[in-house]
């Protein structure tokens, strides 16, 4: 199996069932998955897995990441603290497309309260297939990278 396109996936206890469905879906498609937990529905703290996934993406161990918790909000906040990560919380297909086209999002964040199995799988498929448009959006990403560099030196 070619693992050049490894996808890091993580969740907390509230996203566990949806994560398991997404991991199975990705593997059925022949994609390499780096499952970073949680590994049960036992209560755990979402920052632990969100940080692991974000570091895997920022460190190039995975080219993309997917995070799942109940609302998605906490995971998105944690992931976006890591330089080089552009995590997008999406609850609908149009937002998924735009997160890739305009923001070159490298982590998709889903909330299991809002997105259920079949739609989540469709969202993941669209997100993985949608290219970054570049152009004026690339200029904006350069500005985000500049902000990250300025904050690292503080």
90 in catalytic set: no
Instruction: Kindly name the residue from 11, 69, 76, 90 that is annotated as catalytic.
Output: 69
69 in catalytic set: yes
Instruction: Kindly name the residue from 13, 32, 91, 102 that is annotated as catalytic.
Output: 102
The full 3-state SS of the chain, as one line of letters, equals CCCCCCEEEEECHHHHHHHHHHHHHHHHCCCCEEECCCCCCCCCCHHHHHHHHHHHHHCCCCCEEEEEECCCHHHHHHHCCCCCCCEEECCCHHHHHHHHHCCCCCEEEEECCCCCHHHHHHHHHHHHHCCCCCCHHHHHHHHHHHHHHHHHCC
- Catalytic positions, please? 69, 102
């Amino acid at each position: 199996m070619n693992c050049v396109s490894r996808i890091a996936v993580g969740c907390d206890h509230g996203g566990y069932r949806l994560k398991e469905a997404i991991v199975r879906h990705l593997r059925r498609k022949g994609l390499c998955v780096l499952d970073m937990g949680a590994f049960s529905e036992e209560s755990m703290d979402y920052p632990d897995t969100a940080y692991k996934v974000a570091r895997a993406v920022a460190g190039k161990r995975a080219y993309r990441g997917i995070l799942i918790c109940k609302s998605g909000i906490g995971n998105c906040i944690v992931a976006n603290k890591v330089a080089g990560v552009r995590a997008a919380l999406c609850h609908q297909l149009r937002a998924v497309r735009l997160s890739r086209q305009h923001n070159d999002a490298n982590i998709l964040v889903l909330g299991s309260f809002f997105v259920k199995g079949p739609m989540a799988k469709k969202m993941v498929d669209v997100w993985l297939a949608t290219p970054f448009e570049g152009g004026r959006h690339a200029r904006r990403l350069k500005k985000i990278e500049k902000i990250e560099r300025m904050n690292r030196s503080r």
